[in-house]
């Protein structure tokens, strides 16, 4: 908890005002990615690979260009060649994902793009593009990719962190260890050893990717797109197209869901490229099938775990080996998974190994707490089995080894104040945990952890002449962040929340800001907003001092008013913020605050989830009867949206556990590229989702904020699986627990890993 805020009583923090963009969103006025158009606009479409793995021999767009109405065509030859290099965002790979160069690496991989006077003409032109492919053996999954003699996706790929000289499909190995695992296991009275698998899943945002680009003859471009990070899009597009960053302005539209899936670029650089070539604005909107075939997904995984414990529940050792499918290019969250998998627990001996493996599926993208849900599914399932073997209550078992202040994490740092124990205790004490269960019903519990991110943020606060304020930041509002930022500004400035107008600014209008992800907006950008507001307050005190003809130290700022400081001896009537604002012109000019920071000390957020299910033993169908999500939010700025994040993450996690999976055939072709067969939960699939917000303040934020957005998707996979295991009496080692899979497990008690 920051300096003066120890026992601070909040006026607006913790209230539930109506969000500022709410009316626009319930009346249809809010403009999302596909809602923008320009006069003379062309439509862009993308030609996609019919092969999951093939060498591109030749691309010829001449016949397509000859079709009336076709104005531009683009292939990788139009993009500057970027040599493969290291770095988290490997631009050579990104460039090749945006338009395939030497090879196509998954079915649906973009190969060429067309801009034409209508979508229909563009579609027809795609058919006229001649592409000669030399098909290569398809590397379907982890097992294929790591089999001896496997076809290699990238000839130049070496294993980062590994000893093998390559070529290989294993892009990276992340390892963490401590103590002596074999000795620890030898010490154990009980061990659990299991292998777990999860399938490829999609973020499933309802709004398909959309971009509209306009380029002037001077080469200056404007791009409207639905993205989690306008500055990220600007950086990627500039780099991929060889532009100066200053030549490109990115205007983030409202965004219809991202969940990590809109943190990269697909057609955004193509829209700019086509607009440059055609000299007309170009709009590109993916259809749902393209979203499923060529964007996102969250990685499929295979995890092997060995856990040992003494009879009293002390965990003696853990060995974890995880493999993540990266898709066509390296970059799965295998590393993050390695960091998170044992983070909630104090275990004296452990060895963690996690592999990033390429195969011929779409390039994976971030998905809400990337890597953590898959890792938690494995460890939390194994722990639950361990609890059962030890006849210890599963919450008690976790409490015995729960990480707390001072626990050293496997990835290095030592936890400051964290709230895991508090969430476990709240779950244990809830009415849910004590409620009776009927036949064929079971209750599962699981814990989740996510680091939360800090990164770079800028904020500007403009005090208007009537005492209202503009708060401009560079973070697209995914789920109510305008409200949380405005609440914090209101708290600092002492004005009503609705006298603050929060603005999602474009890349020309606010300083650099990293994307809306990592549960960082309310924490990091919020901190920038608070800093900028505090500058405004300092300025207000100086202006009041000018008006009162005294020293600024003699002026305090309390509840939106400048008042004489205690002991200052001044007897002036308080000056309301609006009054000081009105007089700004004669006291030194406009009053604005501006702050930028690299936020450090993001507070990790822990959650404990409870799930009750009923299993139909004849059909394998699972119904979720009751669900409770408990989470440490640090400080809930707008509790309604904190609860909403917890409920939404829980629902996504339940979908992941129960029915969601991208199904590929033996040629790597996705079989269910639509919402009908990619079965996300619908309203009638779910119960109410109870929430318990625990507030253990983050000492590194002025108000104690931790991030809340990602943690809620981490526990549900295991919470559901553990509930099913207890209801049906079979071990769940494979997601999704779809009815045929559960029924097979019920018929073959040897386990679900069939």
Partner 1 sequence: MTRMHITTCLNGEEIDFLCEPHQSLLHVLRDELKLTGTKEGCGTGDCGACSVILDGRLVNSCLTLAAEVQGRSVETVEGVAGPVSQAGTVGLHPIQQKLLEHAALQCGVCTPGIVMAVKALLDREPDPSEREVRYWLAGNLCRCTGYDKIVRAVLDAAAELRNLPEERQPA
Partner 2 sequence: MTCLVEIPTALRALCEGELQVQVPVGNVRSIVRALDERFPGFREQLGQSFAVAIDGELIHDPWLEPVPAGTELHFLPVIAGGQETQVSVNAAYAAPEDVEAAVALLAEAGSQGRVLAGGTDLIVQMRTGQCSPQLLVDVKRIPALGVCELGTEVLRLGAALSSAVLREQPEVRRVFPGLVEAAELIGSEQVQGRASLGGNLCNGSPAADTVPALIVADATCIVAGPTGMREVPVAAFCTGPGETVLGTGELLVELRVPRPPARTSDAYLRFTPRSEMDIAVAGAAARLELGDDGRCRGARVAIGAVAPTALLVPEAAEALVGSDLGEDALEAAAAAVRAASRPIDDVRAPAAFRTHLVGVLSKRVVRIAASRAAGEPG
Positions in the binding site for partner 1 (CB under 8 A): 16, 18-19, 21-23, 25-32, 34-35, 37, 203-208, 254-259, 287-288, 478-480, 638, 640-641, 643-645, 647-652, 674-676, 680-684, 686, 688-689
SS3 540: helix
Give the one residue of 595, 657, 743, 745 binding partner 2; rule: CB under 8 A. 743
Contact, 563 vs 580, CB < 8 A?
A: no
Tell the smallest beta-carbon distance from residue 257 to partner 1 (Å).
Answer: 5
Tell the smallest beta-carbon distance from residue 122 to partner 1 (Å).
Answer: 14
Range 427-431 contact pairs with CB under 8 angstroms and sequence separation of 24 or more? 427/395, 427/608, 427/609, 427/610, 427/628, 427/630, 427/692, 428/393, 428/395, 428/396, 428/399, 430/610, 430/628, 430/630, 430/690, 430/692
393 binds, among partner 1, partner 2, none (CB under 5 to 8 A by kind): none
Tell the smallest beta-carbon distance from residue 612 to partner 2 (Å).
Answer: 17
Tell the smallest beta-carbon distance from residue 590 to partner 1 (Å).
Answer: 27
Q: List the strands of the sheet with 441-450, edge to edge.
A: 441-450, 605-615, 622-632, 689-694
**Beta bridge partners of residue 318, listed in sequence order:** 307, 350
Alpha-carbon span 196 to 200, nearest angstrom: 14
480 binds, among partner 1, partner 2, none (CB under 5 to 8 A by kind): partner 1
Closest CA to 213 of 112, 285, 281, 118: 281
Q: Which stretch binds partner 2 (CB under 8 A): 55-63, 131-139, 175-183, 617-625?
A: 617-625
Return the C-alpha torsion angle 660, 620, 741, 373, nearest 10. 40
> Strands 248-252 and 221-225: what pairing?
parallel
Q: Return phi, psi of residue 548, to 5°.
A: -85, -5
Contact, 714 vs 369, CB < 8 A?
A: yes
- Cα Rg of the chain (Å, integer): 27
Give me 405's structure tokens: 């202040």
525 or 652: whose CB is closer to partner 2?
A: 652
Question: What x/- string results for residues 258 through 297 when contact with partner 2 is judged by CB under 8 A?
Answer: -------------------------------x--------
Residue 217 found at the interface with partner 2 (CB under 8 A): no
22 or 166: whose CB is closer to partner 1?
A: 22
Burial of 549 (0-12, 13-18, 19+ CB in 10 A): exposed
Residue 746 found at the interface with partner 2 (CB under 8 A): no
260 or 681: whose CB is closer to partner 2?
A: 681
Alpha-carbon span 659 to 653, nearest angstrom: 10
667 or 672: whose CB is closer to partner 1?
A: 672
Tell the smallest beta-carbon distance from residue 293 to partner 2 (Å).
Answer: 13
Tell the smallest beta-carbon distance from residue 733 to partner 1 (Å).
Answer: 26
Q: How many CB atoms lie within 10 A of CB 680?
A: 18
146 binds, among partner 1, partner 2, none (CB under 5 to 8 A by kind): none
Question: What x/- string results for residues 667 through 706 when contact with partner 2 is judged by CB under 8 A?
Answer: ----xx--xxx-x-xx-xx---------------------
Give the one residue of 40, 55, 77, 118 binding partner 2; rule: CB under 8 A. 118
Alpha-carbon span 363 to 35, nearest angstrom: 27
Tell the smallest beta-carbon distance from residue 470 to partner 1 (Å).
Answer: 19
Tell the smallest beta-carbon distance from residue 528 to partner 1 (Å).
Answer: 22
DSSP letter at 79 equals S
Q: Any idea which residue has 């990719």 for tokens?
A: 145
Residue 148 found at the interface with partner 2 (CB under 8 A): no
Residues 618-677 that bind partner 2 (CB under 8 A): 618-621, 658-659, 663, 671-672, 675-677
Q: Which stretch binds partner 2 (CB under 8 A): 113-121, 162-170, 514-522, 544-552?
A: 113-121
Alpha-carbon span 36 to 23, nearest angstrom: 19
Alpha-carbon span 381 to 276, nearest angstrom: 53
204 binds, among partner 2, partner 1, none (CB under 5 to 8 A by kind): partner 1
Q: Which stretch binds partner 2 (CB under 8 A): 106-114, 220-228, 254-262, 734-742?
A: 734-742
The residues, ordered by sequence, that sit 6+ positions from 288 with a Cβ below 8 Å of its Cβ are: 208, 673, 674, 675
Question: Dihedral sign, CA of 707, 639, 529, 365?
Answer: positive
144 or 289: whose CB is closer to partner 2?
A: 289
Tell the smallest beta-carbon distance from residue 690 to partner 1 (Å).
Answer: 9
Tell the smallest beta-carbon distance from residue 227 to partner 1 (Å).
Answer: 13
391 or 684: whose CB is closer to partner 2?
A: 684
57 or 682: whose CB is closer to partner 2?
A: 682
Alpha-carbon span 260 to 255, nearest angstrom: 12
Q: How many residues does the chain have?
A: 754
Tell the smallest beta-carbon distance from residue 710 to partner 1 (Å).
Answer: 13
SS3 586: helix
Residue 160 found at the interface with partner 2 (CB under 8 A): no
Alpha-carbon span 161 to 15, nearest angstrom: 48
CA atoms within 13 A on the CB side of 232: 23
Residue 31 found at the interface with partner 2 (CB under 8 A): no
DSSP letter at 591 equals -
328 binds, among partner 1, partner 2, none (CB under 5 to 8 A by kind): none
Residues 227-256 that bind partner 2 (CB under 8 A): none
Tell the smallest beta-carbon distance from residue 25 to partner 1 (Å).
Answer: 3
642 or 745: whose CB is closer to partner 1?
A: 642
Q: Which stretch binds partner 2 (CB under 8 A): 216-224, 293-301, 614-622, 701-709?
A: 614-622
Give the one residue of 120, 147, 186, 435 binding partner 2; rule: CB under 8 A. 120
630 or 651: whose CB is closer to partner 1?
A: 651
Residues 476-535 that bind partner 2 (CB under 8 A): none
124 binds, among partner 2, partner 1, none (CB under 5 to 8 A by kind): partner 2
Kindly give the residue spans of alpha helices, DSSP state H, lying in 557-626: 577-582, 584-587
Angle subtended at Cα 337 by Cα 176 and Cα 341, rounded to the nearest 5 degrees:
70
Contact, 530 vs 702, CB < 8 A?
A: yes
158 binds, among partner 2, partner 1, none (CB under 5 to 8 A by kind): none
Give the one residue of 68, 148, 567, 569 binding partner 2; rule: CB under 8 A. 68
Tell the smallest beta-carbon distance from residue 226 to partner 1 (Å).
Answer: 9
SS3 317: strand
Alpha-carbon span 709 to 479, nearest angstrom: 9
Alpha-carbon span 513 to 503, nearest angstrom: 14
Residues that bind partner 2 (CB under 8 A): 67-69, 117-118, 120-121, 123-124, 289, 618-621, 658-659, 663, 671-672, 675-677, 679, 681-682, 684-685, 738-740, 743-744
């Amino acid at each position: 908890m920051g300096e003066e805020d120890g026992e601070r009583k909040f006026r607006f923090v913790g209230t539930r005002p109506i969000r500022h963009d709410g009316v626009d969103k319930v009346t249809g006025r809010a403009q999302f990615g596909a809602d923008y158009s320009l006069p003379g606009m062309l439509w862009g479409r993308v030609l996609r690979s019919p092969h999951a793995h093939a060498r591109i021999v030749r691309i010829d767009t001449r016949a397509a260009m000859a079709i009336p109405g076709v104005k531009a065509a683009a292939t990788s030859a139009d993009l500057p060649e970027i040599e493969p290099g290291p770095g988290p965002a490997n631009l050579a790979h990104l460039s090749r994902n945006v338009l395939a160069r030497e090879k196509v690496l998954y079915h649906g991989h973009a190969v060429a793009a067309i801009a034409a006077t209508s979508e229909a003409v563009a579609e027809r032109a795609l058919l006229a593009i001649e592409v000669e492919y030399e098909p290569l053996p398809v590397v379907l999954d982890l097992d294929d990719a790591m089999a001896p003699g496997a076809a290699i996706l990238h000839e130049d790929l070496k294993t980062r962190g590994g000893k093998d000289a390559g070529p290989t499909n294993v892009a990276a190995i992340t390892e963490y260890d401590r103590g002596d695992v074999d000795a620890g296991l030898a010490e154990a009275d009980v061990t659990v050893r299991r292998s777990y698998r999860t399938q490829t899943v999609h973020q499933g945002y309802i709004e398909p990717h959309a971009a509209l680009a306009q380029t002037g003859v001077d080469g200056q471009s404007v791009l409207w797109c639905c993205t989690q990070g306008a500055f990220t899009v600007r950086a990627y597009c500039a780099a991929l197209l060889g532009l100066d960053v200053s030549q490109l302005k990115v205007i983030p539209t409202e965004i219809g869901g991202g969940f990590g899936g809109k943190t990269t670029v697909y057609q955004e650089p193509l829209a700019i490229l086509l607009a440059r070539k055609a000299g007309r604005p170009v709009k590109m909107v993916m259809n749902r099938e393209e979203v499923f075939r060529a964007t996102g997904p969250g990685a499929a995984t295979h995890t092997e775990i060995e856990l040992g414990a003494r009879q009293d529940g002390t965990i003696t050792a853990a060995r974890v080996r995880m493999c993540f499918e990266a898709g066509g290019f390296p970059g799965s969250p295998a590393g993050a998974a390695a960091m998170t998998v044992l983070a909630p627990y104090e275990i004296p001996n452990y060895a963690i190994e996690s592999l990033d493996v390429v195969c011929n599926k779409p390039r994976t993208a971030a998905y809400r707490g990337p890597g953590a849900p898959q890792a938690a599914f494995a460890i939390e399932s194994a722990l639950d089995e361990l609890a059962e073997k030890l006849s210890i209550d599963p919450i008690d078992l976790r409490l015995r080894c729960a990480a707390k202040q001072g626990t050293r994490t496997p990835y290095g740092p030592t936890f400051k104040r964290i709230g895991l124990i508090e969430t476990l205790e709240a779950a244990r004490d809830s009415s849910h945990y004590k409620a009776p269960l009927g036949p064929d019903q079971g209750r599962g519990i699981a814990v989740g952890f996510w680091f939360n991110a800090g990164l770079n943020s800028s904020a500007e606060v403009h005090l208007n002449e009537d005492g209202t304020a503009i708060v401009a930041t560079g973070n697209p509002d995914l789920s109510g962040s305008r409200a949380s930022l405005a609440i914090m500004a209101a708290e600092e400035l002492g004005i009503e929340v609705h006298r603050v107008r929060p603005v999602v600014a474009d890349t020309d209008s606010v300083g650099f800001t990293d994307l809306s992800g990592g549960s960082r907006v309310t924490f990091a950008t919020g901190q920038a907003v608070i800093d900028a507001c505090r500058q405004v307050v300092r300025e207000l005190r100086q202006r009041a001092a000018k008006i009162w003809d005294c020293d600024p130290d003699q002026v305090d700022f309390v509840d939106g008013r400048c008042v004489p400081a205690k002991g200052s001896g001044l007897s002036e009537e308080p000056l309301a913020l609006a009054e000081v604002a009105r007089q700004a012109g004669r006291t030194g000019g406009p009053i604005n605050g501006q702050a930028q920071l690299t936020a450090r000390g993001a507070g990790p957020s822990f959650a404990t989830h409870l799930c009750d299910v009923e299993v139909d033993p004849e059909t394998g169908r699972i119904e979720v009867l009751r669900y409770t999500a408990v989470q440490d939010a640090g400080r809930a700025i707008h509790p309604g949206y904190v609860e909403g994040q917890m409920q939404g993450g829980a629902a996504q996690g339940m979908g992941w556990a129960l029915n969601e999976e991208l199904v590929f055939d033996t040629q790597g072709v996705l079989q269910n590229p639509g919402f009908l067969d990619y079965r996300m939960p619908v309203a009638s699939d779910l119960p109410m989702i109870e929430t318990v917000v625990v507030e253990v303040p983050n000492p590194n934020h002025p108000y104690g904020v931790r991030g809340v957005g990602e943690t809620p998707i981490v526990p549900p996979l295991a919470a559901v699986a553990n509930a099913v295991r207890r209801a049906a009496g079979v071990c769940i080692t494979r997601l999704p627990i779809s009815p045929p899979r559960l029924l097979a497990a019920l018929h073959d008690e040897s386990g679900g890993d069939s």
